[in-house]
Chains A and B, each alone.
Chain A
Amino acid sequence: MTSYFVRRFLLILPTFIGVTILVFTLTRLVPGGPIERMLNEAALAGAEGSTTISAGIDGRGGSVLSDEQIEQLKRYYGFDKPVILSYFDWLGKVFTLDLGTSTRYTEPVWETIKSRLPISIFYGVATLILTYGVCIPLGIVKAIKHKTAFDNVSSALVFFGYAIPSYVVGIACLTLFAANLEWFPLSGFVSDDFDDLSTIGKALDILDHAALPLVAYLAGSFAVTTMLMKNSLMDNLAADYVRTAIAKGMAFRRAVFAHACRNSLIPLATSFGNTITLVITGSFLIEKIFNIDGFGLLGFESLVERDYPVVMGILVISSLLFLIGNILSDICVAFVDPRVKFGSGGSNQ
């Protein structure tokens, strides 16, 4: 089994190179880029009050910068070299843990990303705990009370939440609870006077701000895991070994927890490792609605602004986390299911 995981870890490298080379090339092929953005901004600054924003971008003739200046800029950003060469330049820097400098914030990419981490981790961990904390018990109860009123009503609720896009939930909550009823603050991650608050006050302040975004994040996230847990537990409740346990004299309720539950967690374990990516998750739409400076917004804005170093930086982190997450999932599965023996000779029958 160890050799299996060593092999899996070694496979991260080629996969990682494949992913990054693809995206890197794409960023070079699509029109627009930091230079054009700067030209655009310069043009805007030059033509104050002008309504034709795009005028500066078209044709070099109307540009506010001379061709020489543009060449200089291209050299500065490495756009003068062929794609593959500048890719390897970039990759070499990545291996020295240098992700480059954001063209938009003109600060190291890592600093930009780091400033968003606490927010994303907070929401990631909160949704993770709430999702599994609700879905697993709910799935268990639903399986035991299959086809009862409780089961039907909770299914309806869970799928209702699943069916509504999260940004609609977000806007609805914001309008109702923040704007009309004023129960919760309108936006942001913390209040302006956050630094002056006591520790408890800080915690409450964060929760106060987080309540509505969390509702928006969570509304749709219960359906899949709950139904997976329910169906998988029902399969296991019908399994022979549960009947064996009851035939031994075990009470049904105890057989559910002592025998069926662990087996039912196996399908959940197959994706559990990927929760490591929660560090950088965050929905751009929800972050936009609640004005939270998280990863979703950063990723989206850096794409729109053609801030390629940041785009690539996020890609590096997310693809690495995703690849490691897959391996962690495998480890989780091997942990709950003793039958799983990756790669090696199999059982000794």
Chain B
Amino acid sequence: MPLLSIENLSISFETDEGVVDVIDDVSISLEEGETLGLVGESGCGKSVTALAVMGLLPKPAGRVTGGVIRFEGRDLTQLTSEQLSRVRGDQVAMIFQEPMTALNPVHRVGKQLGESYRLHHPNASKAEIRSEALRLMDHVGIPAAERRLDEYPHQLSGGMRQRVMIAMALSSRPRILIADEPTTALDVTIQAQILELLRDLQREYGMSIIFITHDLGVIAELASRVVVMYAGRIAEEASVETLFASPLHPYTRGLLDSIPRLESESKSVLPTIPGVVPSIDELPVGCRFSNRCEFAQDQCSINKPLLELATESRTVACLRWRELEQNAVATA
């Protein structure tokens, strides 16, 4: 049984133009100890899905309209806010994209770090909280941790702040860590350090990670299984190796093609997917990728492709994936 399973999740947002279905029938399962990559361009619904797991959808605009999020026998969407508070930060923790704004600028780092420990250990003494905070800071590789505890977030660099966020998330030894683009705002070198840290910590704590990113390079390094999302639906799911070796969905193919390669000819044009992710109030009927897909036919803008098993361990939602796969094999 998976540790966390999202089943047929639908989420709608109330906008000025009316109610829009942002997430449509998304199912994802997360196994104990695995790292699941959630990939897609900006605006694909990756973060919204993650926020729904945490019960952090912006209120009152966002609402779960269907499906369940099952964790340890409970449906997280049905919990009261009090029950949810006990799960959040304790069993399921989350780190965010912007370490610059994710910490409160007017409170000392140590206080914010200790707070997350105190919330789930209400009887802890002050000294206990501080030594735990110190231990965590040390653990995530922050030098001079003792001094850093008494500093304010603006005195720390972006990478340091993200380390503090990770330390905060780890304070209760969560079973699931949701990392929402945790390295996007960081320099490449810092990015590598943070990924390294996450990998080490996962090994040590044995937790499962949902890693959200638009960077396939990061996915290749970290994840074992990948879910590709497009415009609020799942396009394709496969193991990392399979996905990189033989993408089935034209969107996945487009994403992989737009990674610059060392062996490509110099000064050649980097392929891109034309257009942008449609905004939520002007989604195409049928396949939501149809207006950007080079293989789209008339049926694509009429019929909604359902997620189907392509092989035993991978799924894809494309009306033409069989012919496209044969073509790909033929040209290869």
- Let me know if A250 and B119 touch, CB within 8 A: yes
Q: Could you tell me which residues of chain B, from 116 to 157, have a CB within 8 Å of some CB in chain A?
A: 116, 119-120, 152, 154-157
Taking CB atoms, residues of chain A closer than 8 Å to B103 are 241, 244
Residues of B near any A CB (own CB < 8 A): 54, 56, 81-82, 85-90, 93-94, 96, 98, 101-107, 115-116, 119-120, 152, 154-157, 165, 168, 172
Q: How many A-B residue pairs have CB under 8 A?
A: 82
- Let me know if B101 and A336 touch, CB within 8 A: no
Q: Mark A170-197, 1 if CB is under 8 A from B, else 0.
A: 0000000000000000000000000000
Taking CB atoms, residues of chain A closer than 8 Å to B98 are 240
Interface centre among B90, B96, B106, B120 (most CB of A within 10 A): B106
Closest chain A CB from B149 CB (angstroms): 14
Once A240-B96, A349-B155 are accepted as A-B contacts, the answer to whether A249 and B105 lie under 8 Å apart by CB is: no
Taking CB atoms, residues of chain A closer than 8 Å to B119 are 248-250
Q: Is the interface of A mostly helix, strand, loop or mixed?
A: helix
- Let me know if B86 and A249 touch, CB within 8 A: yes
- Let me know if B154 and A249 touch, CB within 8 A: no
- Let me know if A263 and B106 touch, CB within 8 A: yes
Taking CB atoms, residues of chain A closer than 8 Å to B96 are 240, 243-244, 247
Complex: A339 Cα to B101 Cα, angstroms: 13
- Let me know if A259 and B120 touch, CB within 8 A: no
15 more A-B contacts (CB under 8 A) besides A249-B172, A259-B107, A263-B105?
Answer: A241-B103, A244-B96, A244-B165, A246-B88, A247-B93, A247-B96, A248-B119, A249-B87, A249-B88, A250-B115, A251-B81, A262-B107, A338-B154, A339-B154, A349-B155
Q: Number of residues in A with C-beta < 8 Å to the partner?
A: 24
Complex: A258 Cα to B118 Cα, angstroms: 14
Check A239 for interface membership: any CB of B closer than 8 A.
yes
Complex: A349 Cα to B157 Cα, angstroms: 6
Taking CB atoms, residues of chain A closer than 8 Å to B152 are 338-339
Taking CB atoms, residues of chain A closer than 8 Å to B88 are 246-249
Taking CB atoms, residues of chain B closer than 8 Å to A263 are 104-106
Once A244-B103, A245-B104, A339-B105 are accepted as A-B contacts, the answer to whether A252 and B54 lie under 8 Å apart by CB is: no
Check A347 for interface membership: any CB of B closer than 8 A.
yes
Minimal Cβ-Cβ distance residue in B for A339: B154
- Let me know if B116 and A249 touch, CB within 8 A: yes
Closest chain B CB from A348 CB (angstroms): 6
Minimal Cβ-Cβ distance residue in A for B157: A349
Partner of A248, one of B107, B116, B154: B116
Taking CB atoms, residues of chain B closer than 8 Å to A336 are 106
- Let me know if A241 and B154 touch, CB within 8 A: no
Q: Could you tell me which residues of chain A, from 312 to 342, have a CB within 8 Å of some CB in chain B?
A: 336-339
Q: Mark A252-263, 1 if CB is under 8 A from B, else 0.
A: 100000110011
Closest chain A CB from B97 CB (angstroms): 9
- Let me know if B105 and A247 touch, CB within 8 A: no
Taking CB atoms, residues of chain B closer than 8 Å to A349 are 154-157
Complex: A262 Cα to B98 Cα, angstroms: 21
- Let me know if B106 and A262 touch, CB within 8 A: yes
Partner of A246, one of B56, B156, B168: B56
Closest chain A CB from B87 CB (angstroms): 8
Minimal Cβ-Cβ distance residue in A for B104: A241
- Let me know if A241 and B101 touch, CB within 8 A: yes
Taking CB atoms, residues of chain B closer than 8 Å to A241 are 101-105
Minimal Cβ-Cβ distance residue in B for A147: B60
- Let me know if B154 and A240 touch, CB within 8 A: no
Once A348-B155, A349-B157 are accepted as A-B contacts, the answer to whether A248 and B89 lie under 8 Å apart by CB is: yes
Q: Which 8 A-B pairs have the closest CB atoms?
A: A249-B89, A248-B89, A248-B116, A241-B104, A240-B101, A249-B88, A338-B152, A249-B119
